[in-house]
Structure 1
Amino acid sequence: MSPVPAPTSDRLSDYLAADDVVDHRHPLIRARVDALRATNGDPAKAAFRFVRDEVEHVIDARDPRVTWRASDVLRERVGICHAKAHLLAALLRAQGIPAGFCYQELSALHGLNAVYLRELWSRLDARGNRTGARGEFSLDEEKLAWPVDTGRGERDHPEIHPAPAPVVVEFLKTVRPGPGWYEKGLPATL
């Protein structure tokens, strides 16, 4: 059973903020939000599906590029789980939907999101459904990409952070692109 998501800030405005990573005021982000709105569907679900299905996960794609800023992830259409979470947060926040960052300690630190809809927080994992991942959009029950196996020492962090973990951002900003770059020091814990 997954832990109940718990925000680390009691101000919803913190989960709507723009910064260097979640640059939701960038013209590329705004244009994508306009395109998603044109689908006339659920705006949060449309953003989730776009990130999950239209942005490649670097490991699945065997892509040597490193992205970390939401607008760069959108432009390049590739990113590791953390980068994809940065983009999903930007797309949601640009629509006035509070979104935060959550983490799981698997073989490495895995990044995902939480969204505030229907007056409650729900965790969403837009990692991408290849190589065994099974993330789905659901506000009623958690359908994350990877189940946590506590028997293997894995851990689920219930905290919802308004900004991405500094250790993750620093790693993504400083790692050198190339084959297997994500195997060269991706943080294992917060």
Structure 2
Amino acid sequence: MIARATSGYLGADEILQSSHPAIAALAQELRGQHANDPDFARAAFEWVRDEVAHSFDVQDSRVTLTATEVLDQRVGLCYAKSHLLVALLRNQGIPAGLCYQRLGGPAEGYVVHGLVALHLDGDWHRQDPRGNKPGVDAQFSLGVERLAWPVDETRGELDYQVIYESPAAEVVDALRMADDILRCALPAELPVSSSRCQT
């Protein structure tokens, strides 16, 4: 995975609102129950995975983008849920960024899927807070990845090898233009190379 120095993955922006009081309150609540970083990271992951519904799973048309919108409305797509998890992790000093996959196939088309990468124990570890359902069993892991969907390269799927400090512009633009997330035109791919994200 391509990432800058970990210090670049600790800041806040208009979407990853890690310093917002509402984000800080939840992060501190979870930290109070889990003193060490791996336990806190697991708790934050499980909270976002389980307490925020995935928009398609529950057929909720509301559009959420920023971390605080997701926290307030408790619903969002994979991208939005990832924004909240990154904000929680950064609030407690754990470097975190955003990763993406291209999933699907030539027949049905492709869609970009959003993930989180966090830095613990000297390395980056991808996590998928999308939310589980029959056929999807994503789990927190600092070892073997337990993502919702491993890519199938024979179908043209791929893992983008970049850890983004801020959400991909293509994702942000798609969500900002949407008024019904269930009918939103989601990005089918991202640029393979992006100088703003690489070392």
SS at match of 1:21: coil
Q: 1:31 & 1:37 partners in 2: Cα distance? A: 10
Identity %: 49
Displacement of 1:149: 1.3
Residue correspondence of structure 1 range 10-159 to structure 2 within 5 A: 11-40=5-34, 42-107=39-104, 108-159=111-162
Displacement of 1:131: 4.2
Count how many residue pairs are aligned between Structure 1 and Structure 2: 181
TM-score (norm 2): 0.87
After superposition, the C-alpha distances for 1:106-133 in whole angstroms (9 at most, x for unaligned) are 1310000100001111111111111422
Q: 2:139 & 2:34 partners in 1: Cα distance? A: 20
Q: Is 1:185–2:194 an aligned residue pair?
A: no
Residue 6 of structure 1 is matched in structure 2 by: 2
Unaligned runs of 5+ in 1: none
Q: 2:56 & 2:21 partners in 1: Cα distance? A: 28
1:60 maps to a residue whose letter is D
Q: Which moved more, 1:127-136 or 1:51-60?
A: 127-136
1:40 maps to a residue whose letter is H
Residues 60 and 131 in structure 1, CA contact (< 8 A), matched pair in contact too: no
SS at match of 1:171: helix
Residue 168 of structure 2 is matched in structure 1 by: 165
Q: 1:165 & 1:23 partners in 2: Cα distance? A: 16
SS at match of 2:101: strand
1:6 maps to a residue whose letter is I
Residues 101 and 162 in structure 1, CA contact (< 8 A), matched pair in contact too: yes
Displacement of 1:159: 1.4
After superposition, the C-alpha distances for 1:71-105 in whole angstroms (9 at most, x for unaligned) are 11011010100001100000000000000111000
Q: Which moved more, 1:154-163 or 1:106-115?
A: 154-163
Displacement of 1:22: 0.1
TM-score (norm 1): 0.91
Residues 57 and 79 in structure 1, CA contact (< 8 A), matched pair in contact too: yes
Residues 15 and 162 in structure 1, CA contact (< 8 A), matched pair in contact too: yes
1:185 maps to a residue whose letter is A
Q: 1:16 & 1:88 partners in 2: Cα distance? A: 12
